[in-house]
Structure formats: C-alpha cells, structure tokens
Amino acid sequence: MQNWRIWLLIFFILISVVILGFRGIDFGIDFKGGTLFTIEFSEKVTDSEQKARIAQTVSQRLDWTGLRDTTVTFFGDEFVLAQLAETDSDTVARIESLLQKQGRFEATIDGNLLFTGEALKITRDPTHGYGFRQEGDFVRWYLPFTLNEKAATRFRDLTFHKCALISFDAGTGKQYECEKTFFFIDRPTEAVIVIPGALFISDRELLLAGAPEHGIFGDLRIEELLANGSAPHITIDSDGFTPEQLEELQVLSQAKKTAIVPSTIGAEIVSELESLGFEIRYVEEIDGKPWIWDALGVRSVINLSEDVAHMDVPTREEAEILTNLQITGLANDFESAQERLSNLDILLSSGSLPVSVKSISKESISPLLGENFLSTVIWMAILAIIVVAIVVFLRYRVVSITAPLVFMIFCETLITVALASMISKFDLGAVAGIIAAVGTGIDTEIIITDELLRGEVSEQVSSLVTRVKRAFFIVFAAASVSLATMLPIVFIGFGMGKLVGFAITTSMGVLVGVLITRPAFGELARLAVEKHEQKTEAKQEAKK
C-alpha cells in the first residue's frame, strides 16, 4: 500500500465510480434505440466549410428542439451518416421528408425572383402573428418573417403597383385585383416537367377550384404556376412523345439533367427519357391535390394586397420599404396546420443545403432490441471473465497470481468505460474497442506473469525487479503497436462513425492499461510471485 502505482490505481477507480455514479453512461442508439439515416448527395463535397454547413443544416433538421440525441458525420465526400434517438414511425417519416429536401427557399412574382431563404429571418412571436387560427372548417397557419434591407427593397420594387383597379364602390371604395406571390421549396429550375395531358387538365381544374385542405385557395391558373416554377414542361398524350417533343427534349437534355414525372407514368415513356440522358424523379399523385403543386415544390401562393403594393403612393421612391411579411396556408385541422408550419419553419431556419440530395435510406433500431444488445453484452463480458479466470488458473495453479489478473480486468474495464463516457456515447463500436483493449491487457499481463515466473539461473535475470522491467519492455512495445494502428483512424477517419469510436476506446483502453493498471498489476504480481517463491523455497527446505 506504500507503492504510488497502487495508489494511482485506487485514485482512478474512485474517480470512475464517481463519474458513473453521478453522470452515468450515455448510451448510443445501438442500446437505447433510434434511426440511422444515410444521405447521398448528387455531387462530391470537398470543401471543409461546406461540409460543416451541411452537417449543421442536417443536424438542425434532425433535432430542431435540441432535445433529441443526434449525431451527424460525413463518410467520404458524398455521404452523411445521421443518427437520431427516435423510433416513432410518423416522426421518422417526417424527418426523412425534411432531409430529402435541399431546402432552397424562393419567392417569385411574374416569374421574377423576389427573395431567397438567406434573406429572411423567422419571427416566432405570437404577437406578430406566428401560430394558428380557426377559419370556418379549416385552420389557417401563419409564419411571419423579417427581410433584410436589400431583399426588402427588391420586394418593394417588384411588387409596386402590381394591382389593377377593377371597380369602384362608393361604400367600400376601390376594388383591386392583385398579382400573386409564389413561395417554393427546391424549385426544380434544372429539370423538365413531363405531364400526361389528362393529368394536366385535371390539375388545371383543381387549381381553379381550389383545394383548401392542401393550402390551395383557388382561382389559380396552371400557366401562372409553371411560369413562376421556371421549369420547362412537356405535355404528352396517350400515344407518347411526338417527334417534335423528342427533338425539344434532346435540346433540353443539354442543360436539364432531371425529368420529373408522375409515379404512374408508363415504362415506355421513362425508357425514352433515360435514353435521352435524363435522370428520372418520380412525384406521387395525391387524390384531390394538383400533381404539379408538388412537382414544382410550391408551398404557398398569396395574393398581394393593395397596401403592400402601395396603390395609394404615386411613385416607387415614396413607397415604404416593408421588412415584416408573412407566409400563410390552410389545413384540415390543428395537427396538420402545426406540421406544415413546423416543417416550413425548420427548412427556412436550418437553411438550404449547398448541394441537392440524391437519395436517402434509413435503418431503425428499436429500444427493445437495444436493451437485448446491452444485456447480451453484459452476459458476454461476465462469461469472458470467468473463462479467462479459469484458463489463467489452469496455467499457473496459483490463486494469488490469478486473482490480481482477474481483478485488473474489472479495474481496466471500469476506468475505460468511465473515461470513454466523458467524451463519447456508449455504442457497439465503443464496446468492441473496450473488449479489444482489455484483451490486449490480459495478453500483456500474462507476459508480465510469465517473465516473473521464468526463474532463470543468471543473477541479472533472476532479480524480480529486473524481470518486471524486461516484461514492461514487451508491454510498451505491444501498446505502441496498438496505438500506432488506432491513432491514424482517430485523426483521419472523420465520418467513419463507429470505426472512429472503436479506435478511440481502444486507444483509451490501451493507455489506461499502460499508464495505470499494468504498473499496478506488475507490483501486485511481483509481490505474489515473491511470496510464491518464498513458499516454494520453504517447502524445499522442509523436504531436506
């Protein structure tokens, strides 16, 4: 007990107990359940600033409240691995829908860009209109925002006097018909819209009639929508493409790489588009909702009012620059209204991704499965320790030597788990790293024990202290090899997820062993061997 190595071990054991007692273990989704999203981008991202922006944007879309357990890491230059401690199917589907969008927000009028998402800031103050209001059988939602000075000036210039006087009433005053403003998320400016003639006619009727449950108020011409969507469109009949349309598509394919089609379109049409070099993007048809609404990424269409268009001001320079505006829409109930408002809020607040999303896949781990993982790992650890203890005892046949070795397995595991919990989550990668580190530790402890029990004739080697030093030379060499293998993964393996976690915990376990547990074990083993040799000598003397 007077040896500093033993006191160092006791100190770290106490610290580890305190850490685990007050802080506990922060389990990852492998043990407490969650969802892993793999996001593939349409092009490589090599710039470190862009990667940081993408990671921040994805993280905000995953966890806008900051209350969920999320991890976002790049894997190479084209993939992002995003982990979320959430297993509810509806919530996961909603988050997946948010992640699939690039999130590029644009507002237009007469086909001209008014402002983008980077120019606005959301105002979440109910006193400024943020929230919901019952309106007949529907619920209207409101999302107020503030424009920066440059965007507000452009908004004034492009909307000035965009209303036409249609009548005059002595009681109510002048009556105006005003232009519409269109709000888009991921407007497909780099795509071609291919729409069957029957669907085009159906959409035209739905837009004119309106579909309030989908936020479409009616009196909207499909030509207006297409003009502001800025995507060329091809309307085909039941016979497919005409020669003129194929020729037009051939020209468009030089600049437009994607063809947006209904999910029910014929395979022959798709085959012809692919032969022209287009990538196909399917958009689902929803009953009662114009297909072109989702194909163009429309979120809302709002008529200007005469005061916003400054119809009472003679010149544009005298018009007030408005910085406070709002987006509004309708929904069937409060739940749907809240979801639409929240989704748009998250997309606008998180910002747009610098590149578009090519595909996204998800893998779910249920909490029950995670609990089974944890119980299995615990039982495997207990079984492994028992097997190691039996093998070591059969090897040396001395309890005083076997006991310190088994005790060090517990100590090394305890300290490594406590220290690892301070910097990372406890997932399968961390478990594998701890097992690898402890396995290396057992190996080196057996080397120390064997060196102490060699008992060569030479005086230089027969000294127990010398034998310990010789054993530690081998121990440090083995540890150096382990660290040399793991550290490159830690420093250059950014985005490799569990592999980095495995490398960190393995390196940490190796350092704990070399700096804390192995020196203490060397002292305990030296004392045990010394007593064992003394007993052996005493027995031999007694026999004589």
- Type of residue at 385: I
Q: What is the CATH number of domain 34-98?
A: 3.30.70.3400
Residue 193 has pLDDT above 90, yes or no: yes
pLDDT score of 160: 92
pLDDT score of 475: 67
Angle between helices 367-396 and 399-423 (to 10 degrees): 150
Mean pLDDT across the stretch 199-219?
Answer: 88
- Structural contact between residues 99 and 343, judged by C-beta atoms closer than 8 angstroms: no
Q: Where are the domains of the chain?
A: 4-27+366-536, 34-98, 107-237+281-349
- Type of residue at 362: K
> pLDDT tens, 463-521?
656 656 666 666 677 677 777 777 777 666 544 556 777 788 888 888 888 888 878 87
pLDDT score of 459: 44
Place of tokens 């939602």: 141
pLDDT above 70: percentage of residues in the chain: 89
Q: What token pair was written down for 426?
A: 């406890």
Mean pLDDT across the stretch 164-187?
Answer: 82
pLDDT score of 337: 86
DSSP state letter for 214: G
pLDDT score of 154: 93
Lowest mean pLDDT among 134-138, 294-298, 456-460, 521-525: 456-460
pLDDT score of 473: 66
- What is the separation, in whole angstroms, between the first and last Cα of the chain? 35
Q: What token pair was written down for 477?
A: 């060499």
pLDDT score of 498: 62
Pick 543 or 439 by higher pLDDT.
439
> pLDDT tens, 224-248?
999 999 889 999 988 889 999 999 9
pLDDT score of 458: 43
How many C-beta neighbours within 10 Å does residue 245 have? 16
DSSP state letter for 311: T
How far apart are the C-alpha atoms of 51 and 58, rounded to whole Å?
A: 11
Q: Exposure of 323 by Cβ count < 10 A (0-12 exposed, 13-18 middle, 19+ buried)?
A: middle
Mean pLDDT across the stretch 19-23?
Answer: 85
- Structural contact between residues 506 and 482, judged by C-beta atoms closer than 8 angstroms: yes
Mean pLDDT across the stretch 5-23?
Answer: 88
Residue 147 has pLDDT above 80, yes or no: yes
Mean pLDDT across the stretch 147-151?
Answer: 91
pLDDT interval class at 296 (50, 70, 90): very high
pLDDT interval class at 460 (50, 70, 90): very low
Pick 113 or 65 by higher pLDDT.
113
> pLDDT tens, 243-265?
999 999 999 998 888 999 999 99
pTM of the model: 0.64
| Of the ranges 16-30, 463-477, 526-540, the best mean pLDDT one | 16-30
For 224, residues 6+ apart whose C-beta sits below 8 A from its C-beta are 180, 182
pLDDT score of 456: 44
Q: Exposure of 316 by Cβ count < 10 A (0-12 exposed, 13-18 middle, 19+ buried)?
A: exposed
Q: What is the CATH number of domain 4-27+366-536?
A: 1.20.1640.10
Mean pLDDT across the stretch 79-100?
Answer: 80
Residue 69 has pLDDT above 70, yes or no: no
pLDDT score of 531: 77
- Structural contact between residues 427 and 484, judged by C-beta atoms closer than 8 angstroms: no
pLDDT score of 91: 78
Mean pLDDT across the stretch 146-167?
Answer: 90
Lowest mean pLDDT among 345-349, 410-414, 420-424: 420-424
How many C-beta neighbours within 10 Å does residue 414 have? 18
pLDDT above 90: percentage of residues in the chain: 20
H helix runs in 23-144, sequence order: 29-32, 48-62, 89-100
CA torsion angle 145 151 157 161 (round to 10): -10
- Structural contact between residues 292 and 226, judged by C-beta atoms closer than 8 angstroms: yes
Chain mean pLDDT for the chain: 82
Residue 540 has pLDDT above 80, yes or no: no
